[in-house]
Amino acid sequence: MVRLLFILLLSSYCYSQSSIESAENYIAKKEFVNAQNEMTTFLESNPNNLEAIELLGDAYGHQKKWDKAIVQYQKLKQKRPENANYHYKYGGAMGMKALSISKIKAVAIIGDVKDAFLKAAQLDPQHIDTRWALVELYVSLPGIIGGSNSKALRYAEELEALSKVDGYLAKGYVYEYDDEPELAEKYYRLAIKVGGSITCYDKLTDFYEGQNQPDKAIGNLEKAQNKHQRNALHYQIGKVSADYNVQLDKGEKCLKAYLSHYSAKDGVPKEWAYYRMAQIYRHKKNKVEALNWINKAISGLPDIVIFKEEKIIISKL
């Protein structure tokens, strides 16, 4: 009898793990509906399995079904109120819902979003994602409903104590939104010095573009390329060159390098590189070459409106 009970328990455990792993694999492959169906069926007979509830919430969240994700995360924080990550996920889903509804309706739930993040931060002094969420929340909210750059900087300080790179990036983010570009640049540069990841370089590049400083953006991208040797950075240099009509020869050279080394892992389809080449030749007043490149872009991706608009501009040269 004991042996039979052990076999039944082991069989149930194996089924549980198999179903959980299937859902995790579906999510990894971005097959979110399959993950949802897998966990919905599993929870019918295992309604208190926290791992399955979380995976179902994640599957809903990836599909932007915020109300359904909120229901699952709420179950989790009620069952395990001491778990910081459950409060964080609940707050995140509520925050995303707030962004998807009218501003008037969103105001009514912002308090719940903030409370969830603050609770997560209180429960776990080392929860980096929660502190990032609080930085972004306090920066983005108007002061009248609780926005505060000083509070955002407080959580950026907490981030810096946990991870210097995250702290520097967070401070750069706060100062950028607070219209203090010199301080923002300082901290983005510090993040690159300490961390040096592609993300660090991207933040500084985006900052320079936002400040209408394309030459600095290109210089930063070149440094990133020298360090990381990623073909996608060739496209980014060409994009900045084309968008801002600067360093056109360098932009052309980088786009040609991107196309000659192109693979699907580079992320940006070749047609967008064709489009940038067309822009560069338009800036150079070379109508024939510009039309050649834009036609290649349209041929590959005929439904992209901006490609057609570019062709009209080129045709008027």
Domain-by-domain residue ranges, the chain? Answer: 11-63
Q: What is the pTM of this model?
A: 0.83
Q: List pLDDT tens digits, range 97-153.
A: 988 888 788 888 889 999 999 999 999 999 999 999 999 999 987 654 567 889 999
Write out pLDDT tens, residues 202-242: 999 999 999 999 999 999 999 999 999 999 999 999 999 99
Is residue 38 within 8 A of residue 22, CB to CB? The reply is yes
Instruction: State yes or no: pLDDT of 162 exceeds 60.
Output: yes
Residue 33, pLDDT score? 97
Q: How confident is the model at residue 2 (pLDDT cuts 50, 70, 90)?
A: very low
pLDDT of residue 148: 83
Q: What is the pLDDT averaged over residues 275-303?
A: 98
Q: What is the pLDDT of residue 12?
A: 47
pLDDT, residue 106, reads: 82
Mean pLDDT of all residues in the chain?
Answer: 92
The predicted structure's pLDDT at residue 11: 44
Q: Please, which pLDDT band fits residue 3 given cuts at 50, 70 and 90?
A: low
Instruction: Report whether pLDDT(1) > 60.
Output: no
What one-letter code names the amino acid at 90? Answer: Y
Rounded Cα–Cα distance for residues 85 and 243 (Å): 41
* CA–CA separation, 51 and 66 (whole Å): 19
User: How many CA within 13 A on the CB side of residue 292?
Assistant: 7
Tens digits of residue pLDDT in 21-55:
899 999 999 999 999 999 999 999 899 999 999 99
Q: What token pair was written down for 216?
A: 């600095």
Average pLDDT over residues 85-96: 94
Q: Cα Rg for the chain, rounded, in angstroms? A: 25
User: Look-up: residue for tokens 């979110």?
Assistant: 32
Residue 238 · residue 252 · CB < 8 Å: yes
Six-digit token string for 215: 């030459």
Distance CA 103, CA 107 (A): 6
- 9-23, 103-117, 177-191: segment of lowest average pLDDT: 9-23
Res 275: pLDDT: 98
What burial letters (b/e) apply to 234-244, b meaning 16+ CB within 10 Å? bbbbbbbbbeb
**Do residues 182 and 208 make contact, with C-beta atoms less than 8 angstroms apart?**
no
Task: Report the pLDDT value the prediction gives residue 145, as an integer from 0 to 100.
Answer: 57
Residue 90's pLDDT is what? 96
3-state secondary structure of 68: helix
Question: What integer pLDDT is reported at residue 251 of this predicted model?
Answer: 98
